[in-house]
């Protein structure tokens, strides 16, 4: 089945790929509408940048960024996900019309988020995470038998246990290996090559490779300088196609139009 395309709407001044481009509610709403027109199945609306080294906004700032955008886009019929680690933000986002909580901390940053999700019908995206952005790259060590794939699998299973204990049924849980979050480039590649391990856990999978720095280092120039963020789209599209072949449930992307074209092409190929 063709994966769902989750279009990213970062209502932030400082996200690594598109920070500052849609950081007013009106600009973000217009961007969300454009992504729907381009073929997004879901919109992921976030008010906190998680790029390495980022500092956290106040909860009031995060609420002020995402709630009006969610309200407007959900009212127009968009299927909306809120990208937040905070229970208060999840709660208000769900009240504003979001139906998916995308928690990049998998319940570790604010465990009450699990209770908020459990009390609704919302889908819970449980991503692998080890710590906030200011220190996550120091936590990128997976020196255990089975390496990063086994470690991420085991840590995600612990997060699932907590989500279940809070009352979220398995059908409402989506797992994400968390590319780039406390991961070095080699870890991201190992996780992509090991996706079948995650698939065998029986949950839907979401993956977010779009424009991330492991693609910048893969495509580095002869002097070793990483390929710029704006010039990683062809590599992102290659991964979109490969992830579709891995039968993931969703792919989180910035350039929805390009990824939709790639998925349409793959779909047509598969029809023969």
Contact indicator for 217, 226 with CB cutoff of 8 Å = yes
* Given 183, 232, 252, 260, the catalytic residue: 252
SS3 content of the chain, % helix, strand, coil (to 5): 45, 15, 40
Catalytic position from the list 211, 212, 227, 260: 212
For 261, what's the count of Cα atoms within 13 Å in the CB-facing half-sphere?
Answer: 8
| 3 state SS of 23 | coil
Q: Are 99 and 123 contacting, i.e. CB atoms less than 8 angstroms apart?
A: yes
Q: Which of residues 135-194 bind ligand PMM (CB under 6 A)?
A: 176, 178-179
CB of 269 to ligand PMM, least distance (A): 26
Nearest approach in angstroms of CB 43 to ligand PMM is 12
Please say which residue, 178 or 194, places its beta carbon nearer to ligand PMM. 178
Contact 175, 204 (CB under 8 A): yes
Tokens of 8: 């990213």
- Nearer of residues 91 and 103 to ligand PMM, judged by Cβ: 103
Q: Does 232 participate in catalysis according to the annotation?
A: no
Residue 239 interacts with ligand PMM (CB under 6 A)?
no
Among 41, 48, 62, 83, binds ligand PMM (CB under 6 A): 83
Residue 103 CB, shortest distance to ligand PMM, in Å, is: 8
252 is a site residue for ligand PMM (CB under 6 A): yes
Residues 6 or more apart from 188 whose CB is under 8 A from it?
Answer: 179, 180, 209, 212, 214
Q: Which residues bind ligand PMM (CB under 6 A)?
A: 8, 10, 15-17, 50-51, 83, 102, 104, 125, 127, 176, 178-179, 206, 208, 252
Instruction: Just list the catalytic residues.
Output: 212, 252
């Amino acid at each position: 089945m063709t994966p769902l395309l989750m279009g990213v709407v970062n209502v932030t001044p400082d996200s690594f790929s598109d920070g500052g481009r849609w950081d007013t509610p009106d600009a973000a709403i217009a961007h969300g509408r454009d992504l729907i027109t381009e073929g997004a199945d879901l919109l992921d609306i976030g008010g906190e940048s998680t790029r390495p080294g980022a500092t956290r906004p106040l909860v009031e700032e995060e609420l002020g960024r995402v709630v009006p955008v969610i309200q407007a886009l959900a009212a127009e019929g968009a299927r909306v996900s809120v990208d937040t680690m905070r229970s208060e933000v999840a709660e208000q986002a769900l009240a504003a019309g979001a139906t998916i909580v995308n928690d990049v901390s998998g319940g570790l940053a604010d465990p009450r988020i699990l209770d908020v999700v459990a009390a609704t019908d919302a889908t819970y995206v449980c991503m692998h995470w080890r710590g906030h952005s200011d220190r996550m790259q120091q936590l990128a060590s997976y020196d255990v038998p089975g390496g990063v794939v086994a470690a991420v699998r085991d840590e995600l299973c612990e997060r699932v246990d907590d989500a279940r204990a809070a009352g979220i049924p398995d059908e409402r849980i989506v797992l994400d290996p968390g590319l780039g979050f406390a991961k070095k480039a080699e870890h991201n590649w190992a996780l992509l090559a090991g996706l079948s391990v995650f698939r065998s856990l029986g949950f839907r999978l979401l993956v977010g490779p779009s424009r991330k720095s492991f693609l910048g280092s893969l495509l580095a120039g002869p002097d070793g300088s990483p390929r710029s963020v704006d010039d990683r789209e062809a590599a992102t599209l290659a991964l979109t196609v490969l992830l579709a072949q891995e039968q993931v449930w969703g792919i989180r992307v910035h350039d929805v139009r390009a990824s939709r074209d790639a998925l349409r092409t793959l779909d047509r190929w598969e029809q023969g």
